[in-house]
Amino acid sequence: MKDLAHLNKYFLKYRWRLIPGVLFVIISNIFIVLPAQVVRVALDLVMENISVYHLFAGFDRQNMVYDIFGNSLLLFGLLILVLYLIRGLFLFFMRQTIILMSRHIEYDQKNEIYNHYQELSLAFYRRHNTGDLMNRVTEDVSRVRMYLGPGIMYSINTIVLFVLVIYAMLTVNVRLAIFSVAPMPILAVIIYYVNNIINFRSEKIQERLSALSSFVQENFSGIRIMKSYVRENHARARFAEESDDYKVHSMALVKVQAAFYPLMLFLVGFANVVTIYIGGVEVMKGTITPGNIAEFLVYLNQLTFPVMALGWVTSLIQRAAASQKRINEFLHEKPEIISPDVPKRTINGLIEFKNVSFVYPDTGIQALKNVTFTANPGEMVAIIGRTGSGKSTIANLLLRMYDVTDGDVLVDHESVKKLNLESYRSQIGFVPQEVFLFSDTIANNIAFSADVMDMPKVEQAAKDAAVYGNIIELEHGFKTLIGERGVTLSGGQKQRVSIARAIFKHPQILIFDDCLSAVDTRTEEEILHNLGSIMQGKTNIIIAHRISTIKNADNILVMDNGEIIEQGNHQQLMQQRGSYFELYEKQLLEEEEVSGS
Ligand SMILES: Nc1ncnc2c1ncn2[C@@H]1O[C@H](COP(=O)(O)OP(=O)(O)OP(=O)(O)O)[C@@H](O)[C@H]1O
């Protein structure tokens, strides 16, 4: 429960909603007790007047008594109506303050979590799956909201009503009060347990539903594979199986719900019968009036919902506490990469890796061993090597997605740890290995780093990335919407849009992580040629698998198993006749085979 203490700061922030809210709850409850007392007076009056009416049997006065009696009853009726209207008004105010406060806090908390997410490093995102991250910001926050709004509102309501009603009952007749209220705790406990069963089963249904939808989603995304491997029947059978599972769980929930309401009605009815019976006995003893029985029945029926709410609220608070615990886990997670509080500055792009070793924190894989190299502004440094040899890791460390385990990464002779991270990253253009484009227009994807759209700049970036021609051929040109995975574009086109996005920034350092793999050699040459003029005086890091991509680089690092095994320009490396030379020969042979066939 202590996890919910995290929310106290919000109560403080919204105290001017909470305090009036509590007052409105109290006032609205007073208007529950008052009508019950009016009912008692009215009923007692009825009893008295009936006797008076019979007393005047056969006299003219009887009609007069009848009229007075009728009018006063009408007045009582109107009074009750007015009292309930006032109660309704305060109920409205109560919801307008407390429920509104819960919505404000929900909004604040969502932003708090999202902002914190933004600060967390890549390692954190590796440790947690996207679904988990999303659930905490949506589902868990909603559950906490239920505590902040209905949870608090109904708790206060129940407490206030109980105090008022029980006090009113006790002043009338202690014995009747005890017997009337006795079934209430049983009702609360039953509701609590049944509610837990309902929650448990609902969660199971939710799980089945998300399993079903991810199954469908995956099947539709992979529909090409599905059809080409002729697995439709198999998928159909799996879908039926998943659906059946969902149905079975849903039915289990319906069963509990079906039994729940009759049981509630039975208990409430039972409490009414007890009140009438005990009340009747007391009337015969002369300790109370028949009006008191009516008054008690009104109290009892007004208590029913709050008592039911008590059981419901208890399980609601438990769920909120569990959700807040999950949220707190993330909120207490410290960002591993923290920017020092230093002013922003423009970098020149002199990169130095000094004896850098790196072990990935989660897997314990040593990705780099003692890597040392320099990239000067105006140079193109290429990195080549087998898969898994540590090339992308160099890019990750350069972007300070992770901090080195040993050694240091320097930019302009200063450790990257000492640079203002936001300013530093904003001067790097990075094209990742796996293209990711947002579900937005092509123009917005290219201008992703800018706050204001600059169309001529977008077009120029597209030209430099050799994708302009492809874009203007599309019906909506730069306004073409692309899906999360850029469905309307080919693999090579997507890569080039991703390159344009990096070029658009006019970065001081440009990192290409194997992003020319889906582009033909002629286009590749065009892009590299364009880079020559765009990146003049700036630093290029190009990770590639094809020697043709990098043979003009000023410095080529050949990586193997996390180490730089050879280093130099194309001529130097060819003369060494080592791994690079072997790779070159192999690729040349492959090319000849392809062109010969
Ligand atoms: N985020 C990560 N967490 C843990 N281990 C990782 C992570 N990324 C890479 N590795 C591991 O680090 C090693 C180096 O990976 P890296 O991605 O740097 O290789 P690469 O040379 O870029 O490979 P490729 O050419 O296939 O992209 C590999 O063994 C890989 O399994």
Among candidate residues 447, 481, 506, the one where a domain is terminated: 506
List Cα–Cα distances, 184 to 37, 174, 191, 256, 282, in angstroms. Answer: 21, 16, 11, 21, 21
Closest C-alpha residue for ligand 1 atom 12 = 367
Residue from 393, 398, 516 to probe ligand 1 pocket by mutation (most atoms less than 8 Å from CB):
393
Same-domain status, 439 and 501: yes
Using a 6 Å cutoff on CB, does residue 361 contact ligand 1?
A: no
Q: Is the dihedral of CA 418, 423, 429, 431 positive or negative?
A: positive
Of the candidate ranges 302-311, 375-384, 485-494, the one whose mean pLDDT is the lowest: 485-494
Residue 148 has pLDDT above 90, yes or no: yes
Same-domain status, 352 and 498: no
- Cβ proximity of 179 and 275 under 8 Å: yes
Instruction: Give the pLDDT score at 486.
Output: 53
Same-domain status, 357 and 413: yes
Residue at 4 is within a domain: no
Residue at 558 is within a domain: yes
Span 163-182, average pLDDT: 88
Using a 6 Å cutoff on CB, does residue 402 contact ligand 1?
A: no
Closest C-alpha residue for ligand 1 atom 17 = 392
Number of separate domains in the chain: 2
Same-domain status, 543 and 395: yes
Q: Using only the alpha carbons of the chain, give its radius of gyration.
A: 37
List Cα–Cα distances, 343 to 362, 424, 506, 549, in angstroms. Answer: 32, 11, 21, 37
Count of CA atoms in the C-beta half-sphere (13 A) of 425? 15
Residue at 79 is within a domain: no
Instruction: Give the pLDDT score at 212.
Output: 85
Cα 433 from Cα 494, distance rounded (Å) = 11
Ligand 1: centre distance to CA 589 (Å): 28
Residue 184: band (very low, low, confident or very high) from pLDDT cuts 50, 70, 90: confident
- Residues with Cβ within 8 Å of 404's Cβ and at least 6 positions away in sequence, in order, are 356, 357, 358, 397
CATH number, position 490: 3.40.50.300
Same-domain status, 421 and 543: yes
Residue at 98 is within a domain: no
Cα 348 from Cα 346, distance rounded (Å) = 7
- Cβ proximity of 408 and 581 under 8 Å: no
Among candidate residues 506, 529, 556, the one where a domain is terminated: 506
Using a 6 Å cutoff on CB, does residue 444 contact ligand 1?
A: no
Residue at 263 is within a domain: no
Residue 591: band (very low, low, confident or very high) from pLDDT cuts 50, 70, 90: confident
Ligand 1 atom with minimal separation from the 360 CA: 4
Span 252-261, average pLDDT: 87
Q: Is the ipTM reported for this complex over the cut 0.85?
A: yes
- CA 334 vs. chain centroid, Å, equals 19
Cα 307 from Cα 158, distance rounded (Å) = 7
Residue at 578 is within a domain: yes
Q: Given the DSSP bridges, would you call strands 440-441 and 406-411 parallel, antiparallel or unpaired?
A: unpaired
Phi, psi of 450 (to 5 degrees): -105, 150
Residue at 473 is within a domain: yes
Same-domain status, 385 and 361: yes
Same-domain status, 351 and 495: no
Ligand 1 atom with minimal separation from the 389 CA: 21
- Please tell me the total number of residues recorded for the chain in this structure: 597
Ligand 1 atom with minimal separation from the 562 CA: 14
DSSP code per residue over 270-291: HHHHHHHHHHHHHHHHTSS-HH
Same-domain status, 347 and 475: no
Ligand 1: centre distance to CA 388 (Å): 5
Residue pLDDT, tens place only, 67-116: 888 888 899 899 999 999 999 999 999 999 999 999 999 999 999 999 99
SS3 545: coil
Same-domain status, 439 and 417: no
- Residues with Cβ within 8 Å of 401's Cβ and at least 6 positions away in sequence, in order, are 121, 122, 337
Same-domain status, 422 and 451: no
Ligand 1: centre distance to CA 445 (Å): 27
Residue at 306 is within a domain: no
Ligand 1 atom with minimal separation from the 390 CA: 18
Using a 6 Å cutoff on CB, does residue 433 contact ligand 1?
A: yes
Span 343-350, average pLDDT: 90
293 closest CA partner among 280, 307, 308: 280
pTM for the predicted model, two decimal places: 0.78
- Cβ proximity of 153 and 29 under 8 Å: no
Residue 518 or 114, more confident: 114
Closest C-alpha residue for ligand 1 atom 16 = 390
Domain hosting 474: range is 433-506
Same-domain status, 437 and 468: yes
- Residues with Cβ within 8 Å of 271's Cβ and at least 6 positions away in sequence, in order, are 180, 182, 183, 184, 187, 300, 304
DSSP alpha helix (H) spans, 286-342 = 290-331
Same-domain status, 347 and 419: yes
- Cβ proximity of 498 and 515 under 8 Å: yes
Instruction: Give the pLDDT score at 446.
Output: 93
Among candidate residues 484, 506, 528, the one where a domain is terminated: 506
Contacts made by residues 36-41, CB under 8 angstroms, sequence distance 24+: 36/168, 36/295, 36/298, 36/299, 36/302, 37/168, 37/295, 38/76, 38/79, 38/80, 38/83, 39/80, 39/291, 39/294, 39/295, 39/298, 40/289, 40/291, 40/292, 40/294, 40/295, 41/76, 41/291
